[in-house]
Structure 1
């Protein structure tokens, strides 16, 4: 799916208003806002809503955004550490050139979401639902998707390392474009996923362990 590479390319760019009003509010409704260079350390903004908005150079640390809603949101050059996105909803969201670490997003729902050129460490997506999601040219370390549902999810140019996939449900998950594919556990849950021959060989030890096969 095409992704805007600059703020000016957004269809709502002309309507964006800079947000300079301090911390985010609980159940706040932010429509056509531009958060630029904002730094927040701690705090809670549960059930906050962002619609047709943009985040550029935003640094969040230990911020609670449980049950947040992001709809038609563009994010670039963000740095998120320990952000809690439990049961959040993302629809038509693009995140570019960003760094995420220790993000808790279990039970969340992501639909038509693109992560592009992002470095993502320890991403908790347990029990989440991902539909039409793309991880493109990313570094994806310690991905935990246990119990998640993945539908039409792709990983072109992405390095996947130490992924935990126990009880994942895969529908049209295409792993062929991933430049690295390392599964820590749950290889048996890749039923329904597509891999190439090289990846199949690399995954053989994980499949053998999952099936209780001893190779000597």
Structure 2
């Protein structure tokens, strides 16, 4: 994955975008930078071989938008609707998603690096070959989601919900902390370290009704 904008294979063909974003818009080989919008409806749009840098969106909607071969850096979504979006071959660096509704989203070959993901709804989402690297996942809801070949290297997982989630080949060994608020039984299909198992033991005991007492 590219570490900088200039590393993109199509970087030289990017065109600066200086118009207003619109619903159902097609954005091919477009570079959006320095954009700060609120309460906008950009649903059903399509971004292909594009880059978004220093981009902020407060509230509003990008529902059903498709992102293919996109690179994002310093992007911030707050209270934005990203439900049913589709992401493929994307990288998000130093981004923030706070209070975002991304229920039903589909993510394939997506990398989050140095991102803050807090109070995000990912219920019924599908994540395949997704990497969270040096991120913070706090109060994120994966209820009913499908996670396949997902990794969490250097990522802190805090207060995550996994109710009815289905995990396949999920590797949690690189996480620097794991706190599952609910749905810990969904960890079947995940790989953890012995130390992580010890940290999660109280939650496993609560979930199975075991009373632990030394007196």
Output the TM-score relative to the length of structure 2. 0.97
- Structure 2 residue 110 is matched with structure 1 residue 109: no
Instruction: Please say if 1:168 is aligned against 2:168.
Output: no
Matched, 1:152 2:149: yes
Give the unaligned 5+ runs of structure 1. Answer: none
Return the match for 1:21 from 19, 36, 39: 19
Task: Determine the C-alpha separation between the residues in 2 that align with 1:209 and 1:148.
Answer: 23
* Structure 2: 5+ residue stretches without partners: none
Q: Secondary structure at the match of 2:158?
A: strand
1: distance between equivalents of 2:147 and 2:26? 29
Structure 1: distance between partners of 2:193 and 2:177: 12
**3-state DSSP class of the match of 1:104?**
coil
Q: Residue by residue, what CA displacement relative to the aligned partner does 1:103-155 show, whole Å, maximum 9, x if unpaired?
A: 11001100000000111111210000000000000111111100000000000
SS at match of 2:154: coil
Could you say which residue in structure 2 is the equivalent of 1:67?
Answer: 64
Output the aligned Cα RMSD. Answer: 0.8
Residue in 1 aligned with 2:196?
199
Match of 2:184 in 1: 187
Measured after TM superposition, the shift of residue 209 of structure 1 is 1.3
Supply the distance in 2 between the matched residues of 1:8 and 1:93 (Cα, whole angstroms): 15
Secondary structure (helix, strand or coil) at the match of 2:201 reads: helix
User: After the TM superposition, which parts of structure 1 deviate over 2 Å for at least 4 consecutive aligned residues?
Assistant: none
